[in-house]
Amino acid sequence: MTTDAADAAPSNPPNSSTEATGATGRLEQTNPDYDPNVVIEAQNLTKVYRDFWGRQKVRALNALDLEVRKGEIFGLLGPNGSGKSTTIKLLLGLLFPTSGRAVVLGENATNVAKNERIGYLPEESYLYKFLNAEETLDFYGRLFDMPAKVRRERVQALIEQVGLGKAKRRQLKEYSKGMTRRIGLAQALINDPELILLDEPTSGLDPLGTREMKDMILKLRDEGKTIVMCSHLLADVQDVCDRVAILFQGDLKEMGRVDSLLKVSGETQIRSQDLPESAHAEIRKIIEQHGGTNITIENPTTTLEELFLGIVRDSEARPGMRSAPADKSS
Amino acid sequence: MVREEFPQFLEWFGPGILLLLGVLAVGALLGLFFGYLVAAFRHGPFEAFYVVSQVVAEAVPDFLQTSPRRVLAMAGLAIKEALRRRVVLVTFVIFALSILFGGWFMDSGSDKPEQIYINFVMWGTQMLVLLMGLLISAFSLPEDIKNKTIYTIVTKPVRSTEIVLGRILGFGFLGTVLLALMGIISFFFIWRNLDHKHMIDGPSQTVAAFVEIDSETMKSTISGKRVSPNAISEATTTIDNGHAHRLEIYQDIRSGDDEALQTGDIVETIKRDDGKVTYHRARCMPVGGHTHKVTVSGTGASATVSLGPAIGYFRARQPIYSDELAFYDRDGVKDDKGINVGKEWGYRGYVDGGSRGNLSTLSRAKFSFTNFDASRFPDADFAPLEVNLGVFRSTKGDIEERVTGGLRFESVPENPDVENRYISEIVEFETAEYTVQTLPVPKKLVGRIVAPDGSLVEEGEYDLFSDFAGSNGKLELSLSCRDVNQYLGCARPDVYFRGKDQPFWWNFFKGYVGIWCQMMIIIAMGVALSTFLSTPLVMMGVIAIMIVGFNTSFIQNLAKVDEQGNLLNEFGGGPIASFVRILTQQNVMQDLETGVFNTVIAQADYLAINSMKLLTYLAPDFRQLNFSNYLVYGFAVDDQQLLIAVAVTSAFLLGLVLCGYFCLKTREIAK
């Protein structure tokens, strides 16, 4: 295994830690049709769940065709039971497709070797609760065949990165939901993966944790990693994803770039600062002159998330009772 | 205890490897066949070829790329997980409580206390360790799958081999540590409970405490039984560990005053006029298979007699068995089985002592020994012969008297047509029933040399090793019954020379290696089955295999059939027929009435019993790995047997790892 280290994928980001690369090794790519820019390729991917007698229970995924390209954040959207988690499990080889095929990093999804370059954060952080953070990361590091020295450095770096420095010796059973998600993310990053699969990454996190998670995802993308996440929290997906696929009852309903999918054609939005109220009538007049229909002219509102994060940041900077803000409407 | 035959390791190994390869080949073919059927059902007949070939193609790199670091990581996790479940701790606590309070219920003053103690610790340890192995292995993987913690394992570059191997090694390590701990504690528990010392019962610890034995009756005033033929005085010890010993001072007449004879048990040395020397020695008579070393300080009546620790409890006898046993009737005609004395255990054949006042001279049981060499014995002066004989008394015999047996030794020339033979005089001995007697056969035997034509060449004293067995290491021992109207019964394992004993601790260790082998198979079986079954099913499966494994020969005997295919067992047929007999109150000796109903029952029983018989070939024969009886009865576990047990265990581990690998590899981890 370690001899494969020399065959590191050329697409590795320049700042990928050399220790981790050397430690985990990279597999030789044997697929001649492998396009290094296509990280995930699903063709006609179908999954039918059957009962003990082989009778069909549910068709969880129906002929999914999908392509995820290197360096993008790809979101799988859909309500519960739409097939998001099934898709992730098929890509990871946790489930076998009923028909069709899934190719991950040029390898068949059931091939264990591909896991050298993958990080996975499950929906719940399915970790061993009797281990502490250091033991957990050390254990997963061993699974990547990392030498002890490299493992120790990587474990400490990740613990600091996810902000668990003070709790690194506490058993995971004592962790809050947010801390569990963070250690879950750390274990997914232990091998400095090229592809990261995140199943409901912000599930159960408070707004601050959610923001941190989203920032982390964006940072990983900036480091050149490819991220596939599934979520039913649409705002989160909208914030971070470059492209999304929307699934419903196992069928792919829509796929494309987030900005193009959300673009409302036929409407124009103008935002301006310090514009007096008297100008509103004039603007309405101009719109009517050009044959447009005026829908609304009003002060925009911020998001609740932005408000909350602003308060938290302000409180951290100036502890104590916060003075009530002036009523802007008065 | 009846020691069963076992082959030498090197003889066994070749056919054993062939058998293993055969089983693996058949297993592989069956696996491919059933794998294809399942794949064809799920993916269609053409896609199934691709799926099966993909699994096979990935298997080779999976095995080759198995990483020791990952295996050790999985093993470490398995250990932590098992410790967290506290099964190991509970097992140890139960064991500790048994050891702490078990002694209350064991009688150290019984006839064979060491058998009770050794049996208790061996059986207790075996059951606890096997149960622990079953529990930790049956819960592990199904719990990981249920809690989905396995998701974070299988999405790393971890091969199924590493998951299966890691768990087996982890649980095996934990079981080994526990077993070692239990073994050490058990060893000291036995030692502490059996080790004891005695004092002479009376006001004095000197020879003055001994009372003279009536030389006419030669009966003990202490026990009322006959004393040794050369005893002159006796005493008794204090009661310790529930028993007392009788002490004897006896005469030992020797031809000269040899320095080697100056041992610490001499009370008095008398030089006789005829040049011989009479030693008065003190000895401790055995009770329940043990005795004590007697040390005498000083001489005469004021000599102090002290007794050392118990000797004989902690034995690891190495029997030197004969290769062949043949019986000869009173006409000297060879017979394989000896005389059948009626409703007796068919294990022994009997030797006729003669009738109508005529001692049978030709009737005998002849044991043929090979590799009979002095280096195999601890003392060059004697070759201890241990005999465990059955006695059958006809109504014409004297029931009060012990039956006398006779031993005669003969050399076995390679070429009897040209070589002379050594034949000893018959050495008579009194038989003791229901116990193992030790007869010290002296190195020098009185006998004669006989020429090939039967003529006498010479009479004299000849060496057992260099003369009788000298040329080729072959020796024949003839056992005869020296009392008219009586019969002596024996089987091949009943008469053996006792070679050098092995150290008891080493034999004890080997007994625990046997338990370790069983534990490892149970753990591997639990892990392999848990790759595709839930915990309750794993436990049921392993327990079923254990039942079959511990009763292999019983089940195979159940399935024996005659030429017509009828079951030959003595339980009245199979399970259904037995059930019908219970309901209809019919005894097992009577055939069921012929008819359609009973024919259907017989056929169903035949199928059921043969299915069980088939299982006996798949399940490990746990008796082959169980050396408890050797320890209990004080026999050394042969190194060859141990090697075979370890090799059998390794073969099962290999098979179970392969089975676990393919089951885990081909199952969907997620639901």
**Is B416 exposed, middle or buried (CB count within 10 Å of its CB: 0-12, 13-18, 19+)?**
exposed
Are the beta carbons of A181 and A154 closer than 8 angstroms? no
Q: Is residue B51 part of a domain?
A: no
Please indicate, yes or no, whether residues B218 and B286 belong to a single structural domain of this protein. yes
CB of A313 less than 8 A from some CB of B: no
Which chain B residue lies closest to A99 (C-alpha atoms)?
A: B43
For residue B465, give both structure tokens: 């090793």
Q: Do B73 and A122 touch (CB under 8 A)?
A: no
Are the beta carbons of A173 and A133 closer than 8 angstroms? no
Q: How many residues belong to chain A? A: 330
Are the beta carbons of B62 and B158 closer than 8 angstroms? no
Nearest alpha carbon to residue B555 among B623, B604, B605, B613: B613
CB of B69 less than 8 A from some CB of A: yes
**Rg of chain A over all Cα atoms, to the nearest angstrom:** 24
| Average pLDDT rounded to a whole number, residues A45-49 | 91
For residue B94, give both structure tokens: 């139960």
Are the beta carbons of B78 and B170 closer than 8 angstroms? yes
Q: What is the DSSP annotation of A243-283?
A: EEEEEETTEEEEEEEHHHHH--TT------SS--THHHHHH
Boundaries of domain holding B298: 207-302
Q: Give the C-alpha separation, B82 to B89, whole Å.
A: 10
The number of folded domains in chain B is 3
pLDDT of residue A24: 37
For residue B553, give both structure tokens: 């020969």
Please indicate, yes or no, whether residues B295 and B385 belong to a single structural domain of this protein. no
Which one of A49, A55, A126, A183 makes the best mutation probe of the B interface by having the most chain B beta carbons within 10 Å?
A126
Nearest alpha carbon to residue A245 among A50, A29, A91, A48: A91
pLDDT of residue B655: 93
Please indicate, yes or no, whether residues B487 and B526 belong to a single structural domain of this protein. no
**Is B266 exposed, middle or buried (CB count within 10 Å of its CB: 0-12, 13-18, 19+)?**
middle
Q: Give the C-alpha separation, A205 to A219, whole Å.
A: 18
Q: In whole angstroms, what separates CA A84 from the centre of its chain?
A: 13
Identify the domain boundary among B461, B478, B498.
B498
Mean pLDDT by groups of 10 residues along chain B of 671 residues:
71 90 91 87 80 87 91 95 91 93 79 88 95 94 92 93 96 96 94 89 87 86 82 91 89 76 84 85 86 88 89 88 91 86 76 81 91 84 89 75 89 89 91 84 90 90 89 91 88 91 93 96 96 94 92 83 72 82 83 83 85 84 89 90 93 94 89 76
Please indicate, yes or no, whether residues B547 and B486 belong to a single structural domain of this protein. no
Confidence at A90, pLDDT banded by 50, 70, 90: very high
**Is A217 exposed, middle or buried (CB count within 10 Å of its CB: 0-12, 13-18, 19+)?**
buried
Q: Which residues contact A57 (CB under 8 A, 6 or more apart)?
A: A48, A49, A50, A51
Q: Which of A94, A116, A140 sits opposite B151 (nearest CB)?
A: A94
CB of B76 less than 8 A from some CB of A: yes
The label of the residue with tokens 């799958």 reads: B145
For residue B96, give both structure tokens: 């500790």
Q: Which of A94, A116, A145 sits opposite B669 (nearest CB)?
A: A94
Q: Do B149 and A99 touch (CB under 8 A)?
A: no
What would the pLDDT profile of A137-191 be if each residue is shown by its tens digit? 999 999 999 999 999 999 999 999 888 889 999 999 999 888 898 899 999 999 9
Q: Do B668 and A94 touch (CB under 8 A)?
A: yes
Identify the domain boundary among B498, B531, B551.
B498
CB of B159 less than 8 A from some CB of A: yes
The label of the residue with tokens 């066994």 reads: B12
Going from the N-terminus, what domains does chain A have, and what CATH number goes with each? Answer: 2-262 (3.40.50.300), 267-320 (no CATH)
Which chain A residue lies closest to B39 (C-alpha atoms)?
A: A98
What would the pLDDT profile of A186-217 be if each residue is shown by its tens digit? 999 999 999 999 988 888 788 888 888 899 89
Which one of A53, A92, A117, A139 makes the best mutation probe of the B interface by having the most chain B beta carbons within 10 Å?
A139
Q: In whole angstroms, what separates CA B80 from the centre of its chain?
A: 36
pLDDT of residue A197: 94
Q: Give the C-alpha separation, B624 to B638, whole Å.
A: 12
Q: Give the C-alpha separation, B587 to B576, whole Å.
A: 14
pLDDT of residue B397: 65
For residue A45, give both structure tokens: 């991917």
CB of A46 less than 8 A from some CB of B: no
Q: Give the C-alpha separation, B409 to B469, whole Å.
A: 10
| Average pLDDT rounded to a whole number, residues A57-66 | 90
pLDDT of residue B367: 94
Which chain A residue lies closest to B162 (C-alpha atoms)?
A: A143
Torsion of CA A272, A276, A282, A288, to 10 degrees: 40
Q: How many CB atoms neighbour CB B259 within 10 A?
A: 5
CB of B84 less than 8 A from some CB of A: yes
Helix extents (H) in B65-112: 68-85, 87-102
DSSP B408: E
The label of the residue with tokens 């009060």 reads: B400
Q: Is residue B162 part of a domain?
A: yes
Residues of chain A found within 8 Å of residue B153, distances taken between Cβ atoms? 143
Residues of chain B found within 8 Å of residue A99, distances taken between Cβ atoms? 43
pLDDT tops 70 at residue A41: yes
The label of the residue with tokens 């059921």 reads: B608
Please indicate, yes or no, whether residues B489 and B632 belong to a single structural domain of this protein. no
Helix (H) or strand (E) holding B441: strand B437-442
CB of B157 less than 8 A from some CB of A: yes
Q: Give the C-alpha separation, A158 to A165, whole Å.
A: 9
Q: Is residue B254 part of a domain?
A: yes
Q: How many CB atoms neighbour CB B71 within 10 A?
A: 23
Nearest alpha carbon to residue B391 among B358, B325, B344: B344
Q: Do B153 and A120 touch (CB under 8 A)?
A: no
Q: Which of A93, A120, A143 sits opposite B70 (nearest CB)?
A: A143
Which one of B148, B152, B667 makes the best mutation probe of the A interface by having the most chain A beta carbons within 10 Å?
B152
The whole-angstrom distance between B144's CA and the closest CA on chain A is 9
pLDDT tops 60 at residue A274: yes
CB of A200 less than 8 A from some CB of B: no
b/e map of A78-117 (b: 16 or more CB within 10 Å)?
Answer: beeebbbbbbbbbbbbbbbbbebebbbbbbebbbbbbbbb
Identify the domain boundary among B438, B464, B498.
B498
Q: Give the C-alpha separation, A127 to A175, whole Å.
A: 11
Please indicate, yes or no, whether residues B130 and B240 belong to a single structural domain of this protein. no
Mean pLDDT of chain A: 81
pLDDT of residue A30: 56
For residue B557, give both structure tokens: 């005997």
Q: Do A142 and B152 touch (CB under 8 A)?
A: no
CB of B604 less than 8 A from some CB of A: no
CB of B60 less than 8 A from some CB of A: no
Residues of chain A found within 8 Å of residue B163, distances taken between Cβ atoms? none
Q: Is residue B393 part of a domain?
A: yes
The whole-angstrom distance between B53's CA and the closest CA on chain A is 13
Are the beta carbons of B517 and B625 closer than 8 angstroms? yes
The whole-angstrom distance between A223's CA and the closest CA on chain B is 21
Give the helix, strand, coil percentages of chain B, each rounded to 5: 45, 20, 35
Residues of chain A found within 8 Å of residue B159, distances taken between Cβ atoms? 112
| Average pLDDT rounded to a whole number, residues A305-311 | 74
Q: Is residue B619 part of a domain?
A: yes
Q: How many CB atoms neighbour CB B278 within 10 A?
A: 15
Q: Is residue B334 part of a domain?
A: yes
3-state secondary structure of A24: helix
Are the beta carbons of B34 and B42 closer than 8 angstroms? no
CB of A128 less than 8 A from some CB of B: yes
Phi and psi torsions of B449, nearest 5°: -110, 130
3-state secondary structure of B231: strand
Confidence at A6, pLDDT banded by 50, 70, 90: very low
b/e map of A269-295 (b: 16 or more CB within 10 Å)?
Answer: eeeeeeeeeeeeeeeeeebeeeeeeee
Q: What is the DSSP annotation of A116-129?
A: GGEEEE-SS----T
Q: Do B155 and A110 touch (CB under 8 A)?
A: no
Please indicate, yes or no, whether residues B255 and B380 belong to a single structural domain of this protein. no
Distances (CA, A) of A19 to A16, A55, A118, A127, B439: 9, 49, 17, 25, 75
Q: How many residues belong to chain B? A: 671
Q: In whole angstroms, what separates CA B582 from the centre of its chain?
A: 36
The label of the residue with tokens 């007698």 reads: A53
Please indicate, yes or no, whether residues B517 and B560 belong to a single structural domain of this protein. yes
Confidence at A28, pLDDT banded by 50, 70, 90: very low
Q: Which of A89, A126, A143 sits opposite B156 (nearest CB)?
A: A143
Number of CB pairs, chain A paired with chain B, less than 8 A apart: 86
b/e map of B139-164 (b: 16 or more CB within 10 Å)?
Answer: bbbbebbeebbbbbbbbbbbbbbbbb
Please indicate, yes or no, whether residues B388 and B466 belong to a single structural domain of this protein. yes
What would the pLDDT profile of B627-652 be if each residue is shown by its tens digit? 999 999 889 998 898 999 999 999 99
Q: Give the C-alpha separation, B361 to B470, whole Å.
A: 27
Please indicate, yes or no, whether residues B444 and B515 belong to a single structural domain of this protein. no
Residues of chain B found within 8 Å of residue A54, distances taken between Cβ atoms? 41-42
Please indicate, yes or no, whether residues B486 and B515 belong to a single structural domain of this protein. no
Q: Which residues of chain A from 237 to 296 reach within 8 Å of chain B, CB to CB?
A: none
Q: Is residue B97 part of a domain?
A: yes
Residues of chain A found within 8 Å of residue B668, distances taken between Cβ atoms? 94-96
Residues of chain B found within 8 Å of residue A143, distances taken between Cβ atoms? 70, 73, 153, 156-158
- Residue B47 falls in which region: left (phi positive, over 0), alpha (psi -120 to 50) or beta: alpha
Q: Is residue B436 part of a domain?
A: yes
Confidence at A17, pLDDT banded by 50, 70, 90: very low
Q: First-to-last CA distance in chain A? A: 70
Q: Give the C-alpha separation, B223 to B85, whole Å.
A: 58
Are the beta carbons of A75 and A243 closer than 8 angstroms? yes
Please indicate, yes or no, whether residues B493 and B509 belong to a single structural domain of this protein. no
CB of A139 less than 8 A from some CB of B: yes
Q: Do A139 and B67 touch (CB under 8 A)?
A: no
Q: Do B670 and A94 touch (CB under 8 A)?
A: yes
Q: Which residues contact B337 (CB under 8 A, 6 or more apart)?
A: B327, B349
Q: Angle B162-B168-B170 (CA atoms, 0-180°, nearest 5)?
A: 90
Maximal C-alpha separation, chain B: 106
CB of A148 less than 8 A from some CB of B: no
Which chain A residue lies closest to B43 (C-alpha atoms)?
A: A98
Are the beta carbons of B217 and B207 closer than 8 angstroms? no
The label of the residue with tokens 């009763």 reads: B551
Which one of B156, B533, B537, B662 makes the best mutation probe of the A interface by having the most chain A beta carbons within 10 Å?
B156
CATH number at residue B484: 2.60.120
